[in-house]
Homo-oligomer: A and B are copies of this chain.
Amino acid sequence: LNPFQWSVRVYYEDTDAGGVVYHTGYIRFMERARTEWLRARGYSQAQLIQNEGLLFSVVNLEINYLKPARLDDLLSVNSTAQVSGGASVYFEQEIYRDADGQPLARARIRVACLDAATLKPKRIPVTLREALI
């Protein structure tokens, strides 16, 4: 199974005074990749809120920082997902730099399906679940 790949460019807004991407930048890039992974399966987060009354929310995240990304770097985010029987999706995501293929950060993220109004866990609807697998 091939991971889903998404490209991200590093801009000034992503860097800090250490000259590298600020540590939450990688986590934002991973969220963009998960959003595009979802879109590639036919769903947008805005539609999920409006049409299904649900949203996905990170409940647990573990990330290892391996090497820093720098201004103007072109990065790739590789994402693989495992959809649980219930209300969770488990992602493994890796960011690497295109120019030298160096892995920069790796994360394991658990995302929960929530009712958009109450923010309580909600079973992933069957149609959505089948689209995601």
Contacts and interface: CB of A to CB of B under 8 A. Distances in A.
B13 A31 contact: yes
Contacts of A45: 12, 71-72
Contacts of A20: 17, 119
A97 interface: no
A32 B22 CA distance: 13
Contacts of A13: 16, 22, 24, 28, 31-32
Q: Is the interface of A mostly helix, strand, loop or mixed?
A: mixed
A94 to B, nearest CB: 15
Contacts of A63: 60-62
A23 B72 contact: no
Interface residues of A, number: 40
Contact of A65 (B60, B64, B71): B60
21 contacts: A11-B28, A11-B31, A11-B32, A11-B35, A12-B17, A12-B22, A13-B32, A15-B17, A16-B16, A18-B57, A23-B27, A24-B24, A45-B72, A46-B72, A47-B72, A58-B65, A59-B65, A60-B64, A60-B65, A61-B63, A61-B65
Interface of A: 9, 11-13, 15-20, 22-24, 27-28, 31-32, 35, 39, 44-47, 49, 55, 57-65, 68, 70-72, 116, 119
